[in-house]
């Protein structure tokens, strides 16, 4: 509880520095969220949703928020390797918007892309309309924490019937040790519009905490492809929540790559309206002592919606991977069509995989299936490759790579594909990967 007191004390100092001071509704929202967080603190293992993930280290580590912007230590060349060419880019450094590395070149006038702090000054009504509408701070205490603490973030608003050619990248960077970076992002795609948004989380090799919440609104007939590449430092703690509201006939695709962090928790929740579609893809790669927790919830609230989900995990050394997925089908959601799959590859005796795929169904005319596997590479496949002249190690590499690459291949953006592939190979189970076969 000492840790919790420290976080609370820090908050009292921080509060005057947070954006949106002049907005009463926001002050109220922060106060409510702060009260909710103070009451519960960080989640404990006793909560069913957190039974496999122990976050007590966050409380012990005492991460502190940055009161004012400090980009002095930022290595521009290093940052550049994570910037996607041709993308509209918002860079958040240590929880604050960094204008000099951001780029809004080529952005159509009708589209809003700005930092959350700027948006709260220039378009407060737009933020008010959406903030905390896809997720309430009662969801769990990290969301409450983020709502009270957030210092900046990204706002994307794509007006109706506009197809945005350029992708939008949020590049979230933490350079300082023991920092706490809380960002709150909103992505709105109006009727019949289309957009692609990429969230990239990176950091220099320190221990720090990222607590990010993204709210997504996909309106009628609209389409959004959202990518998330989490390559935080291997000492970092990461909480990322994506909460989606989908209107009728909307389409939402999510590609979630979890590579970094010592402890990462990722939530993806989506609410489906009539005949909407969602496609959730995930790849988590755990090495060393990494703990990666993926949590998804698909709410079929109305009839005729379709959901597809595939999460794959590769766990090596002492890593632990967690998958908790829930498909909820409400009483009226007839003709729901849903599949959920989780596949885990355990490569070492000390690795662990925990899976909890759940179905909660209150309608009868539905097709719902889920499957989980935990296992190792098939002897038969290895034998086949060896019979073709590959040595054992290469054969294993080829098969492990193929297993993970299925998810990477789904990335349609060329630059991003190359970046994700590079991140995958950097953390590849065997250190010396023979890239000839790539």
Partner 1 sequence: MSTSAQEIENLIAQDYKQGFVTEIEVETFPPGLDEEVIAKLSKIKNEPDFMLEYRLKAFRHWQTMKEPNWAQLNIEPIDYQSISYYSAPKKKGDGPQSLDEVDPELLETYKKLGIPLDEQERLAGVAVDAVFDSVSVATTFKGKLKDAGVIFCPISEALQEHPELVKQYLGTVVPETDNFFAALNAAVFTDGSFVYIPKGVRCPMELSTYFRINAANTGQFERTLIIADADSHVSYLEGCTAPMRDENQLHAAVVELVLMDNAEIKYSTVQNWYPGDENGVGGIYNFVTKRAECRGHNSKVSWTQVETGSAITWKYPSCVLLGDNSIGEFYSVALTNNYQQADTGTKMIHIGKNTRSTIISKGISAGKAQNTYRGLVKVGKGAENARNYTQCDSLLVGDKCGAHTFPYIEVKQPSAQVEHEATTSKISEDQLFFCQQRGLSAEDAVSMIVNGFCKEVFKELPMEFAVEAQALLGISLEGSVG
Among 79, 117, 132, 347, binds partner 1 (CB under 8 A): 347
Locate the DSSP E strands across 110-236. 112-115, 154-158, 168-174, 179-189, 194-203, 209-218, 223-231
Report angle CA 167, 172, 178 to the nearest 5 degrees: 170
Q: Is 375 in the site for partner 1 (CB under 8 A)?
A: yes
Pairing assessment for the beta strands 194-203 and 168-174 based on DSSP bridges: parallel
> Of 370 and 410, which has the nearer Cβ to partner 1?
370
Residues in 29-48 that interact with partner 1 by CB under 8 A? 48
Q: Is 437 in the site for partner 1 (CB under 8 A)?
A: no
Q: How far apart are CA 164 and CA 116, in angstroms?
A: 20
Among 177, 207, 275, 363, binds partner 1 (CB under 8 A): 363
Q: How far apart are CA 237 and CA 259, in angstroms?
A: 12
Q: Is 287 in the site for partner 1 (CB under 8 A)?
A: no
Beta-bridge partners for 314: 285, 345
Q: Which residues contact 428 (CB under 8 A, 6 or more apart)?
A: 397, 400, 401
**Minimum CB–partner distance for residue 94 and partner 1 (Å):** 37
Q: Is 360 in the site for partner 1 (CB under 8 A)?
A: yes
Q: Is 337 in the site for partner 1 (CB under 8 A)?
A: no
> Of 21 and 373, which has the nearer Cβ to partner 1?
373
**Minimum CB–partner distance for residue 296 and partner 1 (Å):** 15
Q: How far apart are CA 58 and CA 264, in angstroms?
A: 11
Q: Is 160 in the site for partner 1 (CB under 8 A)?
A: no
Among 61, 235, 248, 356, binds partner 1 (CB under 8 A): 356
> Of 137 and 427, which has the nearer Cβ to partner 1?
427
Q: Is 352 in the site for partner 1 (CB under 8 A)?
A: yes
Q: Is 348 in the site for partner 1 (CB under 8 A)?
A: yes
Among 376, 381, 394, 405, binds partner 1 (CB under 8 A): 376
Q: Are 273 and 248 in contact (CB under 8 A)?
A: yes
Tell me the window of 84-92, 255-263, 373-381, 401-409 that interacts with partner 1 (CB under 8 A). Answer: 373-381
With tokens 């159509």, the residue in question is 108
Tell me the window of 53-61, 98-106, 292-300, 352-360 that interacts with partner 1 (CB under 8 A). Answer: 352-360
Burial of 39 (0-12, 13-18, 19+ CB in 10 A): exposed
Q: Is 275 in the site for partner 1 (CB under 8 A)?
A: no
What is the total count of residues that contact partner 1 (CB under 8 A)? 34
Q: Is 373 in the site for partner 1 (CB under 8 A)?
A: yes
Compute CA 353 distance to the chain's CA centroid, rounded to the nearest angstrom.
20
Among 192, 207, 359, 382, binds partner 1 (CB under 8 A): 359
Chain residues binding partner 1 by CB under 8 A are 48, 331, 334, 344, 346-349, 351-376
């Amino acid at each position: 509880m000492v840790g919790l007191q420290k976080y609370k004390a820090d908050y009292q100092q921080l509060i005057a520095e947070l954006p949106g001071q002049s907005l009463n509704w926001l002050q109220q929202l922060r106060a409510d969220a702060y009260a909710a967080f103070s009451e519960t603190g960080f989640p404990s293992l006793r909560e069913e949703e957190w039974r496999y993930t122990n976050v007590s280290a966050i409380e012990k580590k005492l991460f502190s928020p940055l009161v004012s912007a400090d980009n002095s230590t930022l290595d521009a060349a290093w940052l550049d390797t994570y910037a996607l060419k041709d993308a509209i880019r918002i860079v958040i450094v240590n929880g604050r918007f960094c204008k000099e590395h951001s780029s809004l070149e080529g952005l159509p006038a009708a589209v809003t892309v700005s930092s959350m702090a700027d948006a709260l000054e220039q378009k407060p009504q737009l933020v008010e309309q959406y903030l905390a509408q896809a997720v309430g701070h009662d969801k769990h205490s990290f969301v409450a924490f983020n709502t009270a603490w957030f210092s900046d973030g990204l706002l994307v608003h794509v007006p109706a019937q506009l197809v945005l050619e350029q992708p939008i990248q949020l590049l979230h960077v933490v350079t300082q040790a023991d920092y706490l970076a809380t960002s709150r992002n909103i992505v709105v795609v109006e009727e019949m519009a289309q957009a692609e948004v990429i969230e990239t989380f990176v950091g220099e090799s320190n221990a720090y905490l990222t607590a990010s919440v993204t709210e997504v609104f996909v309106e009628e007939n609209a389409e959004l492809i959202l990518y998330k590449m989490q390559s935080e430092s291997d000492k970092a703690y990461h909480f990322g929540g994506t909460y989606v509201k989908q209107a009728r006939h909307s389409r939402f695709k999510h590609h979630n790559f979890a590579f970094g962090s010592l402890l990462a928790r990722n939530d993806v929740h989506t609410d489906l309206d009539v005949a909407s579609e969602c496609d959730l893809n995930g790849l988590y790669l755990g090495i060393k002592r990494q703990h990666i927790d993926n949590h998804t919830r698909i709410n079929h609230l109305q009839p005729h919606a379709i959901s597809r989900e595939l999460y794959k995990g590769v766990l090596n050394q002492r890593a632990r991977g967690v998958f908790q997925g829930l498909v909820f089908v409400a009483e009226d959601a007839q003709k729901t069509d849903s599949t959920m799959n989780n596949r885990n590859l355990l490569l070492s005796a000390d690795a662990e995989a925990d899976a909890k795929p759940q179905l909660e169904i209150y309608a009868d005319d539905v097709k719902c299936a889920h499957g989980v596997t935990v296992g190792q590479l098939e002897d038969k496949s290895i034998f086949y490759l060896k019979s073709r002249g590959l040595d054992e190690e290469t054969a294993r590499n080829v098969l492990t790579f193929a297993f993970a690459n299925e998810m990477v291949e789904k990335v349609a953006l060329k630059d991003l594909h190359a970046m994700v592939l590079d991140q995958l190979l950097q953390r590849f189970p065997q250190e010396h990967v023979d890239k000839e076969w790539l």
